[in-house]
Structure 1
Amino acid sequence: MFSSAIQYRQLQLQDYAALLQLANRVHGEGYLDAQSLAYYHQLSIKQGIDASFVAYADQQLVGFRLCWAAGQWQPDQWCSTELWQTTVAETSYFKCNTIAPLWQGHGIGGELMSRSIAALKQQGAKAGVAHLWRQSPGNAAVKYFTKQGGQLVKIHPDKWRQDSHNGYECVRCGFDCRCEAAEMIIYF
């Protein structure tokens, strides 16, 4: 099963259906919908360069990374911009990294991250910030991001609570998410 070569490429419209299915299976129903995905993808393209990538094995989507280009997104109350060493205009956003459970631990996430960082740098970004799910099994999300060079900025309790009250069903908490987010940043 894992002998298949992984093919990586920038996200395309024909990937949307498989991406939505994988995202909602791994993160919980309501995590992404077609409208938000189209908007997020739009935010990832700057100067004709797309910073969002997908990974396929045997023509099956096994992973993806969504990123927002620096200067094309607005920080919210969960962003501690005063603690960053870069300006908002220089900072991209790592929206989501998802790997199919059977394919985790095979380097796909790291390769997707490398490709996204290369694209973000070409767009002019000097850093990328993310909010990592601290309650992921074994705190894998934070460990992964730290391994990629991420530094902790701040812990945010109940980051996804409002989303869970608006239709997102957290795989851990259901419709009253109490998970914490680790705001982390990688400087390029």
Structure 2
Amino acid sequence: MHIRPLELRDLPAVKAFTDASIGLNYFTLKELEECYQKSFSGDVMCSFVLANSQDEIFGLRLAYPPGSWSKGKGKKLRSDLWKVPLEKVGYFQSLFLSEAVQGEGWGPKLSDSSIQQFKQLGTKAIVTHAWKESPNNSSIRYLTKFGFESVATHPEYWIDVDYECVRDGKPCRCTAEEMIKYL
């Protein structure tokens, strides 16, 4: 297994991977193309994949540098509660790992790859929306261990996203915990 920057050619495999990992059509191929474009600042790519030697995708960290994003997948954002302005903040859109590689330390390695790119760009903080109902509260536990702190809770954060949630179907009624990490 190896971590490498996300490439345009990866998007069909990423779509199949996210369909299986989080729910059918959480990302459309068109939306993944937009995610790919938002992952750049100049020639610096901030999103990464975990792949095997055959380039099969086993993990994904979508990350957007400051200036390339204004919201997450849902519409709620409490930038008024942050200690730095939005234009200095990167965004962790998604982290997905195949069950086959969970617990092996790949999640932090994928995130660290993005953080190194953010630091190179002068990013002052990273914000994300954690899935509060994740199994065993793994999303919030992971981010807290990684240095993120809670900012706000957003009930039914993904309700307007047209996809089949792996937890409660359609529409998704899951809660997001907005979290921030200062760099």
Give the TM-score taking structure 2 as reference length. Answer: 0.94
**What is aligned with 1:130?**
128
**What is aligned with 1:187?**
182
* Percent identity (aligned): 35
**Which of 105, 112, 117 matches 1:114?**
112
Q: What are the ranges of 5 or more consecutive residues in structure 2 without an aligned counterpart? A: none
Encode CA deviations 1:31-80: one digit per residue, 9 max, x unaligned: 01111111111111002100000111242211010011101111374110
**Which of 55, 67, 70 matches 1:74?**
70
Encode CA deviations 1:66-119: one digit per residue, 9 max, x unaligned: 011101111374110011111000001100101001111111110000000000
Distance across 2 between alignment mates of 1:177 and 1:14: 29
Encode CA deviations 1:102-137: one digit per residue, 9 max, x unaligned: 111111110000000000111221111000111111
**Which of 23, 31, 35 matches 2:30?**
35
Q: Number of aligned pairs?
A: 180
**What is aligned with 2:59?**
63
- 8 Å CA contact 1:47–1:123 kept in 2: the answer is no
Secondary structure in structure 2 of the residue aligned to 1:169: coil
Distance across 1 between alignment mates of 2:137 and 2:46: 25
> In structure 1, what residue type is equivalent to 2:133?
Q
**What is aligned with 2:102?**
104
- 8 Å CA contact 1:49–1:119 kept in 2: the answer is yes
**What is aligned with 2:46?**
51
Q: What are the ranges of 5 or more consecutive residues in structure 1 without an aligned counterpart? A: 1-5
Encode CA deviations 1:7-45: one digit per residue, 9 max, x unaligned: 111000121111111111111011011111111111110
Aligned-residue CA RMSD in angstroms?
Answer: 1.2
Q: Is 2:169 aligned against 1:174?
A: yes
Distance across 2 between alignment mates of 1:108 and 1:16: 20
**What is aligned with 1:3?**
none
- 8 Å CA contact 1:51–1:66 kept in 2: the answer is yes
Distance across 1 between alignment mates of 2:149 and 2:167: 25
